[in-house]
Structure 1
Amino acid sequence: MLTAAMKNAARFNGFSEVYDENRPRMPKLVTEIIGQYLQKTPDTVVDLGCGTGLSTAAWKGRCREAIGIEPNGEMLQKALEKEESGISFQQGYAHQIGLSDGIADVVICSQSFHWMEPESTLREINRLLKPGGVFATVDCDWPPVARWEAERAFDGLRAKCNRITAAHKELQESFFQFPKEWHLQNIRESGYFRYAREVLFSSEENCDAKRFIGLAMSQGGLQTVLKTVPEEIETELSAFIRTAEEIFGGETFPIHFSYRMRIGIK
């Protein structure tokens, strides 16, 4: 029988290319804030649920070694393309990582902690972290700030996916998600951290119609519906694509991702 962790990993099958091409890059500010709390440049950073390695690669030149941990084989294969000196990847689950005790100055979950069972994951994070080490979860809000008409279309597509999921038991049971709004509380209540807080910020990236559509296509909820009952979302997806193309045309424009970063100091 598949565990919740296995189901969550399998949810990301089939769209590693779309994910890697379109997802936001982890902002430099994340590494700067963590470095400020550490009061040094970290030696070892462990990136849990690293996906295609975008968040791990962001540590290049900002630590001695960054290790990305990813359970999904397809995502991991894409991440391995980013390996270089100081950047490595291995397969594993967040609650059972094959790394030594006290190896990490930093453990980070970039848009991934909500897929992990918090109690067992935080126990493993505590095992990995050195005294004074930093744990951080980094999540962006969807959709990014663009044009309101495009954001409304993005939200409408996501809402339709949610309604389809709610109507199909097999879709409901194909994953288990933990509320992001509980992250800070879970960090505090774990008892592993002397101090915890939330930091809010935004980051600007360039976008065009193709990427805006790609950001929607990189959502696990939409991809799950497309893999199981595509006929139920085809009309709405086509309308969303058409709307994005009509609004943005061939324009390149800035978008802003709103971030919520929860931090614990061991």
Structure 2
Amino acid sequence: MTATLKHGDFTSLAKDYSKYRQGYAPSVVSSLIGLLGGTAEACDAVDVGAGTGIWSRMLAEAGFRSVTAVEPNDTMRATGERDSAHLDIQWRAGRGEHTGLPKDCADLVSMASSFHWVDFEAGTQEFARLLRPGGWFVALWNPRHIEASPLLMDIEAELTRLKPDMKRVTSARQGLMDELTDRLASAPVFDDLVFLEGRHQVSQTVEEYIGVWRSVNDVRVQLGEEKFERFLDYARDRIGDARTVETTYLTRAWAARRRSA
């Protein structure tokens, strides 16, 4: 890359994001449909911070009556539109704090691997505005369960060796996620809270595993390109001659129901 990557800017990462990011646990989709009454075909979904549409497509494939994907980044949104051309997903520009959508238009509002970029108070107010009474907001992430693999634990430990003060902002294990249950439970716009976790294993080629890292904004920004490439070289060296990397993912989801009155 020739341009300096900025914190939170995925413009130059859209291609890798689209090609290498993994999907979420199907069991979490099924559980959310259960919260909505068990019939996706009667429900409208809005996916905010949709990126390239990984989660949006899962909702469409699950049979929701309508899926609207809202994404502020032009390049990510264009990539998502291309990747989703075979599905009936409506794409539009908008932010978590201001989607531009009408009130009471959704039964499910989601933010998949993106809620940490949104102002909590403004975002939850906007999501409650979009939701019909009794509808659900869900914030979910799809972190690697590195504890299941000594190899992956060692590779990720290299991040700290390269930058001891590394702060991950996108992992569903740190920062916002540590307090998310209490914050959502105490938000005046919600009256119930459910935590869901689904585990799924993916066999990735070395290219796919490295490609996922290339799509991660916070690591690249904090390390800088020179150290980031050193990190990828370390990962390749540790993987060695193996043809695949077995990666366990944990889809972690916090679902909050909009107050009826």
Whether the 8 Å CA contact 1:134–1:264 is kept in 2: the answer is yes
Matches within 5 A, 1:53-64: 53-61=53-61, 62-64=63-65
Matches within 5 A, 1:28-107: 28-39=26-37, 40-41=39-40, 42-61=42-61, 62-81=63-82, 82-107=84-109
Q: TM-score, normalised by structure 2?
A: 0.83
Measured after TM superposition, the shift of residue 65 of structure 1 is 0.9
Whether the 8 Å CA contact 1:158–1:222 is kept in 2: the answer is no
Quick one: structure 1 residues 60 and 154, their matched pair in 2 at CA, closer, same or farther if it must change by over 3 Å?
same
Whether the 8 Å CA contact 1:92–1:98 is kept in 2: the answer is yes
Quick one: structure 1 residues 123 and 147, their matched pair in 2 at CA, closer, same or farther if it must change by over 3 Å?
same
Quick one: structure 1 residues 9 and 77, their matched pair in 2 at CA, closer, same or farther if it must change by over 3 Å?
farther
Whether the 8 Å CA contact 2:138–2:253 is kept in 1: the answer is yes
Whether the 8 Å CA contact 2:28–2:196 is kept in 1: the answer is no
Structure 2: distance between partners of 1:211 and 1:184? 32
Structure 2: distance between partners of 1:27 and 1:260? 9
Structure 2: distance between partners of 1:8 and 1:99? 27
Measured after TM superposition, the shift of residue 145 of structure 1 is 6.1
Aligned to 2:235: 240
Structure 2: distance between partners of 1:254 and 1:165? 25
Matched, 1:257 2:249: yes
SS state at 2:59 partner: coil
Deviations 1:159-192 (A, max 9, x none): 63564789xxxxx9xxxx9622222222112111
Q: Give the residue type in structure 2 aligned to 1:213.
A: I
Q: Give the residue type in structure 1 aligned to 2:64.
A: C
Structure 1 unaligned segments of length 5 or more: list them: 1-6, 167-171
SS state at 2:220 partner: helix
Aligned CA RMSD, in angstroms, stands at 2.6
Structure 1: distance between partners of 2:212 and 2:123? 28
Q: Give the residue type in structure 1 aligned to 2:211.
A: G
Measured after TM superposition, the shift of residue 8 of structure 1 is 5.6
Q: Give the residue type in structure 1 aligned to 2:242.
A: G
Percent identity for Structure 1 against Structure 2: 20
Matches within 5 A, 1:123-134: 123-134=125-136
**For structure 1, which segment, 93-102 or 135-144, has the greater mean C-alpha deviation from structure 2 after superposition?**
135-144
Whether the 8 Å CA contact 1:43–1:65 is kept in 2: the answer is yes
Q: Choose which of 9, 12, 15 in structure 2 pairs with 1:14.
A: 12
Q: Give the residue type in structure 1 aligned to 2:112.
A: S
Aligned to 1:179: 176
Whether the 8 Å CA contact 1:44–1:106 is kept in 2: the answer is yes
Structure 2 unaligned segments of length 5 or more: list them: 1-5
Q: Give the residue type in structure 1 aligned to 2:18.
A: D
Give the aligned length: 245
Aligned to 1:231: 226
Structure 2: distance between partners of 1:145 and 1:165? 19
Matches within 5 A, 1:144-155: 144=146, 147-155=149-157
Matched, 1:201 2:198: yes
Aligned to 1:24: 22
